[in-house]
């Protein structure tokens, strides 16, 4: 975890540093000339409720925007997460210390509507990678090879219920999980 820790610290510095490719010295001088009251209000990770909260405030007039000021969407969510030590994409390996069961599934964090978990069985690497697809609508599924059960833990922005991506009447295609009787799980 030491490496990950160092990377997060570096990323946090990057998020608040000016974009170095641009005229660096000029942007520094302009920044110093600005009254601090013009600093834009930044919504932090806990303020994010809908996708609309993932818009940066933009830079104050006459300054070069930082990533924190100008980033939007999933990129912004990642930066806000890094500033609070929350790894939005969570590239850490999944819990491989046990077999996931229906009662106690292996949790898979996801910031999006869908997340794939790569299963290699239990013990680890006892079968080749099987991708188990999880979604917000169907957060639990199991590996068709070894039966490991995975469950999505959604950590992304909350839908306000008026989103544009509601498909009324749309039915998820059936998968293996829909046909397995619970007593065989
Ligand atoms: Zn498996």
Query: How many A from CA of 129 to the centre of ligand 1?
Result: 7
Query: How many A from CA of 34 to the centre of ligand 1?
Result: 57
pLDDT at 77: 84
Query: How many A from CA of 112 to the centre of ligand 1?
Result: 23
Rounded Cα distance between 118 and 127, Å, is 11
Query: How many A from CA of 148 to the centre of ligand 1?
Result: 5
Query: How many A from CA of 92 to the centre of ligand 1?
Result: 18
Reported as a single tens digit per residue, the pLDDT across 127-145 is 998 999 999 999 999 999 9
8 in the same domain as 75: yes
44 in the same domain as 75: yes
180 to 101, 175, 177: CA distances (angstroms):
14, 10, 6
Query: How many A from CA of 102 to the centre of ligand 1?
Result: 14
76 within a domain of the structure (yes/no) = yes
25 in the same domain as 77: yes
Query: How many A from CA of 116 to the centre of ligand 1?
Result: 13
66 within a domain of the structure (yes/no) = yes
Confidence of residue 18 (pLDDT cuts 50, 70, 90): very low
13 in the same domain as 45: yes
129 in the same domain as 70: no
Query: How many A from CA of 124 to the centre of ligand 1?
Result: 9
Residue 19 pLDDT exceeds 70: no
Q: Which of 83, 98, 124 is the last residue of a domain?
A: 83
Reported as a single tens digit per residue, the pLDDT across 35-94 is 555 555 788 887 877 778 888 888 888 989 888 888 888 888 888 888 887 777 766 778
77 in the same domain as 134: no
Rounded Cα distance between 105 and 150, Å, is 5
Reported as a single tens digit per residue, the pLDDT across 159-173 is 655 555 555 666 777
- Give me the domain span that covers residue 10: 2-83
Mean pLDDT of 17-40: 48
Query: How many A from CA of 119 to the centre of ligand 1?
Result: 5
8 in the same domain as 50: yes
10 within a domain of the structure (yes/no) = yes
Reported as a single tens digit per residue, the pLDDT across 89-114 is 766 778 888 999 999 999 998 878 88
Residue 132's CATH number: 2.60.260.40
Query: Which of 18-22, 23-27, 29-33, 159-163 is the most confident on average?
Result: 159-163
Domain count, the chain: 2
122 within a domain of the structure (yes/no) = yes
* Dihedral over alpha carbons 58, 60, 64, 67 (to 10 degrees): -30
Query: How many A from CA of 157 to the centre of ligand 1?
Result: 29
């Amino acid at each position: 975890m030491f490496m990950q820790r160092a990377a997060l610290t570096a990323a946090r510095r990057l998020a608040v540093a000016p974009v170095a490719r641009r005229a660096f010295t000029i942007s520094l001088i302009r920044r110093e000339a600005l009254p601090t009251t013009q600093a834009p209000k930044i919504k932090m990770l806990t303020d994010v409720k809908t996708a609309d909260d993932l818009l940066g405030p933009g830079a104050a007039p006459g300054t070069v925007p930082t990533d924190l000021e100008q980033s939007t969407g999933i990129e912004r969510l990642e930066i806000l997460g890094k500033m609070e030590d929350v790894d939005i994409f969570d590239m850490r390996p999944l819990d491989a210390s046990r077999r996931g069961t229906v009662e106690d599934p292996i949790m898979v964090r996801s910031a999006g509507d869908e997340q794939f978990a790569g299963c290699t069985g239990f013990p680890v690497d006892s079968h080749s990678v099987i991708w188990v697809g999880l979604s917000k609508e169907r957060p639990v599924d199991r590996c068709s090879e070894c039966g490991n059960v995975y469950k999505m833990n959604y950590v992304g922005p909350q839908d306000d219920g008026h989103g544009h991506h509601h498909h009324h009447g749309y039915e998820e295609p059936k998968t293996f999980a829909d046909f397995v009787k619970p007593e065989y799980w």
